[in-house]
Amino acid sequence: MYQSKPMNIGTGVLLLAVTLGILLLSAFGGQTDPDILYENDDYGFSVSMSRGFWDTVTINEGEEGVLFYFRDVPKDEVDENMGIVGEIQVFSKKNATRTDLIEREESYDLRYLGENENYFFGWCHPTDAQIAPATPEETSVAYRSAVAGFEAMITSFAIIDANNENKEI
């Protein structure tokens, strides 16, 4: 009579990692036909994102840029800024130079995106913890998926010119 052997832990972990990777790539990776085009007319840029990413974030437009927050971070967190998956930072050319951005690139890994007539653009991930250590594993995995979604989205960054046409950067 044939008797099956139990799966060892290493094989189980590998199988789980491969499954999770496939799910992440299908949800956020290879973004070729985006569902959502986000345009910011105040600053003059656009980004394309998948419907899956759009459904997991809240977008907060501010004076220094645009923050993308993970929607499922518990609302009782100590810091109101918890849950940021990424940020497009905007620097007015009246107050900043390209050298200022280079200094920020070195201090907190800001990545230059481009510029238009009035602004310099860069993007970054938060440099501190954005979810509490006690966050359930399912929420932590979903947060990391949203971070991957932000990284996929940021590759579509485009300047909107005066004729409202997108110029890929």
Torsion of CA 153, 154, 155, 160, to 10 degrees: 100
Please give the pLDDT value at position 121.
95
In a domain, 2, yes or no: no
| 35 close to 51: Cβ distance less than 8 angstroms | yes
What one-letter code names the amino acid at 72? D
Please give the pLDDT value at position 164.
45
In a domain, 142, yes or no: yes
In a domain, 134, yes or no: yes
Rounded to whole angstroms, how far apart are CA atoms 54 and 52?
5
**Secondary structure letter of residue 53 according to DSSP:** H
The CA R_g of the chain, rounded to the nearest whole Å, is 19
Number of domains present in the structure of the chain: 1
In a domain, 148, yes or no: yes
Rounded to whole angstroms, how far apart are CA atoms 3 and 127?
51
| 85 close to 146: Cβ distance less than 8 angstroms | yes
In a domain, 15, yes or no: yes
What one-letter code names the amino acid at 4? S
Under-50 pLDDT residues of the chain: 2, 4, 13, 15, 18, 23-24, 28-32, 163-169
Q: Which domain holds residue 17?
A: 9-168
* Joined tokens for residue 83: 């849950």
pTM of the model: 0.72
In a domain, 3, yes or no: no
In a domain, 125, yes or no: yes
Lookup result for tokens 């399912």: 138
In a domain, 138, yes or no: yes
Please give the pLDDT value at position 104.
82
Rounded to whole angstroms, how far apart are CA atoms 166 and 169?
9
Please give the pLDDT value at position 18.
47
CA triple 97-114-123, angle to 5 deg: 90
Please give the pLDDT value at position 20.
52
CA distances (Å), 95 to each of 48, 65, 119, 124, 144, in order? Answer: 28, 14, 10, 20, 34
